């Protein structure tokens, strides 16, 4: 097995290879002046099972083109099998046509991966209207979850927590983690008006006075969901507010907004960032072995 770190997979690729005692190689990625991407392998690929590690953040379209170029090239060089490890896989939230004329991006992007890869591994995919990755990808797909690692982090670092899921889909993380550590949990209801405007409500009363409240979600992007949830939780008396997410995309000034609102934020390292304190490389290596 040859682990190849793509431009947005280097933070995990080395560690995955080390844990598997497998060879590691870095994909060289260059851009021409007009922004076209050129990739270059630096290892012999003949008869190898090639694992491309790529997380999709910041320039996600470039990340996508890069893995397509890499997979097609690996095939040309005689790779036996090509696997994509996508600690964070994008485009899963657009799983239906919300407004007339829109693309249903989830299926289209998954279709590209089907075409170029033999199998795909995704950490905590955002599955809302679909129950499993098998309903999205035609190739063999494996879902990994960081829930055990998040549960372990909370147990070691936060006393007597109550876990909050900020919207109806988040029970898969918040309630599941709460059950693992025997903590109380509540799921809020969210209404999204736009990327920057959400409202959250609590359905069942809860007294949060002097409690350590931990909001658990899969993705934090602009941070608006968490900020709105935190305002509500503070009104209910929360003493300390933590936010733990799997994928810390943290666009714009999300981390600064969290600091301003005294929210302590922790994420896994599916996407490298300042809050990434939970390492998923061991879990990925175990699944690949």
Q: Which residue in the set 63, 150, 219, 238 belongs to the binding site for ligand R5P (CB under 6 A)?
A: 219
CA-to-CA separations, 261 to 226, 227, 258, in angstroms, rounded: 10, 8, 5
Tell me whether residue 129 or residue 209 sits nearer to ligand R5P (CB atom).
129
Give the C-alpha separation, 106 to 264, whole Å. 31
Of 45 and 254, nearer to ligand R5P (C-beta) is 254
- Cα dihedral: 168, 169, 173, 176 (round 10): 70
Residues in the chain: 289
- Least distance from ligand R5P to the Cβ atom of residue 22, Å: 33
Told to check if 223 binds ligand R5P by CB under 6 A, we report: yes
Within 77-106, the residues that bind ligand R5P by CB under 6 A are 93
Stretch that binds ligand R5P, among 43-51, 147-155, 181-189, 221-229 (CB under 6 A): 221-229
- Which of 225, 230, 267, 273 is the binder for ligand R5P (CB under 6 A)? 225
Residue 3 CB burial class (10 angstroms; 0-12, 13-18, ≥19): buried
CA distance linking residue 228 with residue 243, whole number of Å: 12
Q: Phi/psi of residue 47, each to 5°? A: 60, 15
Regarding 261 and contact with ligand R5P (CB under 6 A), the answer is no
Least distance to ligand R5P from the beta carbon of 198, Å?
6
Q: Least distance from C-beta 169 to ligand R5P, angstroms?
A: 5
Label residues 178-189 b or e (16+ Cβ within 10 Å = b).
Answer: beeeebebbbbe
Across 180-262, the runs of DSSP E, i.e. the strands, are 184-187, 189-194, 197-201, 212-220, 240-248
Select the residue interacting with ligand R5P from 17, 110, 220, 285 (CB under 6 A).
220
The CB density around residue 142, as the number of other CB atoms within 10 Å, is 16
Residue of 73, 135, 221, 287 that binds ligand R5P (CB under 6 A) = 221
CA distances from 155 to 151, 175, 183 (A): 6, 15, 10
What kind and span of H or E run contains 122?
strand 119-123
Q: What does the angle CA 96 – CA 101 – CA 103 come to, to the nearest 5 degrees?
A: 45
Q: Which stretch binds ligand R5P (CB under 6 A): 80-88, 96-104, 134-142, 213-221?
A: 213-221
Closest CA to 169 of 183, 189, 151: 189
Is residue 66 within the footprint of ligand R5P (CB under 6 A)?
A: no
Shortest distance, position 224 Cβ to ligand R5P, whole Å:
4
What is the pattern of x (binds ligand R5P, CB under 6 A) and - over residues 161-200?
-----xx-xx---------------------------x--
Instruction: Look at the alpha carbons of 77, 8, 109, 247 in this order and tell me if their dihedral is positive or negative.
Output: positive
Looking at the Cβ atoms of 66 and 218, the one nearer to ligand R5P is 218
Q: Work out how close the CB of 145 gets to ligand R5P at its nearest, in angstroms, rounded to a whole number.
A: 14
Which residue number, 246 or 288, has a Cβ lying nearer to ligand R5P?
246
Residues numbered 103-142 forming contacts with ligand R5P, rule: CB under 6 A = 126
Residue 43 C-beta: closest distance to ligand R5P, Å: 36
Residues that bind ligand R5P (CB under 6 A): 93, 126, 166-167, 169-170, 198, 217-225
């Amino acid at each position: 097995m040859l682990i190849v770190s793509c431009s947005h997979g280097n933070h995990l690729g080395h560690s995955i290879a080390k844990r598997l005692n497998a060879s590691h190689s870095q994909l060289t990625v260059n851009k021409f002046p007009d922004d076209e991407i050129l990739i270059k392998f630096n290892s012999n690929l003949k008869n190898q099972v090639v694992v491309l590690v790529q997380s999709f953040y910041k320039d996600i379209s470039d990340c996508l083109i890069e893995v397509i170029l890499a997979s097609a090239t690996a095939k040309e060089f005689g790779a036996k099998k090509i696997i994509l490890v996508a600690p964070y896989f994008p485009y899963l939230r657009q799983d239906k046509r919300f407004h007339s004329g829109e693309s249903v991006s989830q299926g289209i992007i998954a279709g590209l991966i089907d075409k170029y890869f033999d199998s795909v591994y995704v950490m905590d995919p955002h599955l809302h209207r679909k129950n499993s990755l098998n309903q999205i990808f035609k190739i063999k797909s494996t879902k990994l979850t960081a829930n055990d690692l998040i549960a372990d982090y909370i147990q070691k670092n936060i006393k007597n927590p109550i876990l909050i899921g900020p919207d109806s889909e988040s029970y898969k993380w918040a309630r599941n983690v709460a059950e693992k550590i025997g903590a109380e949990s509540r799921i809020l209801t969210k209404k999204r008006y736009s990327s920057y405007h959400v409202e959250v409500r609590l359905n069942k009363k809860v007294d949060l006075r002097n409690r350590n409240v931990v909001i658990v979600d899969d993705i934090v992007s602009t941070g608006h969901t968490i900020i709105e949830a935190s305002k509500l939780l503070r009104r209910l008396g929360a003493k300390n507010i933590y936010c733990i997410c799997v994928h810390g995309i943290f666009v714009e000034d999300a981390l600064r907004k969290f600091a301003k609102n005294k929210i302590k934020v922790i994420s896994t390292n599916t996407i490298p960032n300042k809050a990434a304190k939970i390492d998923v490389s061991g879990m990925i290596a175990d699944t690949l072995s």
